[in-house]
Amino acid sequence: AQKITQTQPGMFVQEKEAVTLDCTYDTSDQSYGLFWYKQPSSGEMIFLIYQGSYDEQNATEGRYSLNFQKARKSANLVISASQLGDSAMYFCAMREAPYNQGGKLIFGQGTELSVKP
């Protein structure tokens, strides 16, 4: 069965420093996609970054990058130069489907990130 594990319930980081949020996954499928979302206290889910299982390069989007290690089944999110506005809940999610098809997402438990001034 598909499973996403985020082992860090909470993380602290100093403003302007980098932080890594861990995510491991379990799937028997060869084709899948991995997503990271940010959820501020307002409750909305903000899409951050995507990594496909066949992508050879690690995904990057501005200050966000994904450290994808397929053999270890990990997809850690790296946030560089943290800002106070980065304080939020972060969810890792997986979709078991070819990357160009839609479908349901399986979510991890989330990591609450707090950025200190």
Partner 1 sequence: SAVISQKPSRDICQRGTSLTIQCQVDSQVTMMFWYRQQPGQSLTLIATANQGSEATYESGFVIDKFPISRPNLTFSTLTVSNMSPEDSSIYLCSVDRQGGDVTEAFFGQGTRLTVV
Least distance in Å: CB of 30 to partner 1?
Answer: 17
30 binds partner 1 (CB under 8 A): no
Is the CB of 28 or the CB of 100 nearer to partner 1? 100
| Residue from 47, 61, 81, 114 in contact with partner 1 (CB under 8 A) | 47
State the sign of the Cα–Cα–Cα–Cα dihedral 42, 20, 53, 26: negative
Least separation in angstroms between residue 117's CB and partner 1 is 26
Which residue in the set 50, 63, 64, 73 belongs to the binding site for partner 1 (CB under 8 A)?
A: 50
Smallest distance from partner 1 to CB 63, Å: 18
Q: Total number of residues binding partner 1 (CB under 8 A)?
A: 25
Instruction: State both tokens at 71.
Output: 């053999």
In whole angstroms, give the CA distance from residue 66 to residue 83. Answer: 18
Half-sphere CA count of 45, side-chain side, radius 13 A: 10
Instruction: Give the closest residue to 79 by CA, choosing from 54, 44, 114.
Output: 114
Residue 105 in the binding site for partner 1 (CB under 8 A): yes
In terms of phi and psi (left: phi > 0; alpha: psi -120 to 50; beta: otherwise), the region of 82 is beta
User: 68 or 91, CB closer to partner 1?
Assistant: 91
